[in-house]
Amino acid sequence: METIALITSFVLILIGLYGILSQKNILKMIVGFSLFDTGLHVLIVTVGYIRGGTAPILDQVTGTSNVSDKIVDPIPQALVLTAIVIGLGVTALMLAYALKMYQEKQSLDIRDFKELKW
């Protein structure tokens, strides 16, 4: 089960990256970027998967004794929370940049912003 999830996450990451590198339009690059991030988050969660484990919430199902062999690994889920927020932050900032660049040059093609070179 987790191998399928892992493969999908890797594939998502690669597609996202391909999107970033090949698309000329900045907004499409940002979309590629968010794709890349979601792939990453799926990867993080799959890493924490334990066969036969349930959500790491202590309730009637898990009871309070030897919980460790019933639940899924909670740490990646905590980390993914932070990763998602970072992804959000970066995408928001990139959109702001895209907006500003459009205001400056009325074009969203990355190739038009080549003043700084050599």
Partner 1 sequence: MDFISPINVVAVSLGAAFFMGLLGKKAQTVSYILLLGALLFNTIVSGQWLYGLATNIIDAQQVYTAGFRPPFSINLLMGLDEAVITTLVNIVGLLGAIYMASGLHKKGSGSQVVYLVLIMSLNVIVLSRDLFNIFVFLEVGSIATAGLIIMQKGINAVSAGFKYMLATGIIASIMLIGVIFIYRFTGTLNLDFVMQSHPVLKQGALISSFLILMAILLELKPFPANGWALDVYESAHPGISAMLSSAVATANLFVLYKFTGMAGESLMYYISLIGLVTFVGSNLLGINQTNARRMLGYSSIGQIGLLVAIIGLVPHSNANFKLIFIGILTGHYFAKAGLFWIAGIVKAQNIKEWSVLRNRPVLLFLFLTFVLALTGFPPFPSFWGKWQLVMGLSQQGQIAAVIAILVGSFFEVVYLLRWAGYSIKLEPGKLPEVKLSQFIPVILFGLGIYATGYFVSQATNFGDTINYIPLVVVAILLVVDFLPAYIKNSLSILATGWFAYLLIPGQDTLKLVFTVIFLVGGILTLIPGFHVKGKRAGFYPSAMLMFGGLALLIEAENMLQFFFAWEIMTLGSYFLIIRGKESMVHAFSYMLFSVGGAYLILLGFGMVSVGNTGLSLNLLSQIKFYPVLAMALLAVGFMTKTASLGLHIWLPGAHGEAESDVSPMVSAILLKAGVFGLVLLMLAAGGEYNNYQGLFYTLGWIGALTALVGNLGAVFQEDAKRLLAYSSIGQLGYILFAFSIMSQLGWLTGFTYTINHFMFKAILFLSVGGIVMRLGTHNMYEMGGLIKKMPFSFIAVLIGIITLAGIPPLSGFSGKWLFYNAVIMKGWYFQGAIIFFAGTIAFLYCFKLIYSIFLGQLKDNHRNVKELPFWYLLPQYILILGIMVFSAKPDLILKPLGTALAAAFPSNPLIWEGTKALSQLGYWDATTIMIVIGTMFVILLIWLMLMSRKAQNVKQFNIVYAGERPERPELTHVSHNIYAGYNKALGFLVAPGITGFWNYATNLVESIGNFTRRIYSGNGQSYAIHLVSYIVVVFIIYISSI
Partner 2 sequence: MIRNFFIILIIAGLAGVFVSLFWEFGASDTLTPLATHYANNGAAEVGAPNLVTSIVVTYRGLDTLGEVTILFLVAAIISFFLKVEKKGQKMAPPRVSSEIILTASKLLVPVVLVLGIYVFVNGHLTPGGGFQGGAIIATAFVLLLMANPRFELNHRIIAAVESVSGMAFVLVGVLGILLAGGFLDNKILPLGHFGKLFSAGAIPIIYSLVGLKVGSELSNILSNFQDVQKDEL
- Check if the beta carbon of residue 25 is closer than 8 Å to that of residue 101: no
Q: Of the ranges 18-26, 27-35, 110-118, which one interacts with partner 2 (CB under 8 A)? A: 18-26
Contact residues: partner 1, CB under 8 A = 13, 17, 20-21, 24, 26, 29, 33, 36-37, 40, 43-44, 47, 75-76, 79, 82-83, 86, 89-90, 93-94, 97-98, 100-101, 104-105, 110-111, 113-118
Residue 24 CB neighbours (<10 A): 11
Q: Which does 12 bind (CB under 5 to 8 A by kind): partner 1, partner 2, none?
A: none
Q: Which of 101, 103, 96, 100 is nearest to 112 (CA)?
A: 101
Sign of CA dihedral 32, 81, 42, 47: positive
52 is an interface residue for partner 2 by CB under 8 A: yes
Q: Which residue has the tokens 């339009």?
A: 25
* Cα–Cα distances in angstroms (integers) from residue 35 to residues 2, 50, 69, in the given order: 20, 25, 33
The residue among 103 and 115 lying less far from partner 2, judged by its C-beta, is 103
18 is an interface residue for partner 2 by CB under 8 A: yes
What string marks each residue from 90 to 109 as x (binds partner 2 by CB under 8 A) or -?
--xx-xx--xx---------
Q: Which does 77 bind (CB under 5 to 8 A by kind): partner 2, partner 1, none?
A: partner 2
- Check if the beta carbon of residue 33 is closer than 8 Å to that of residue 16: yes
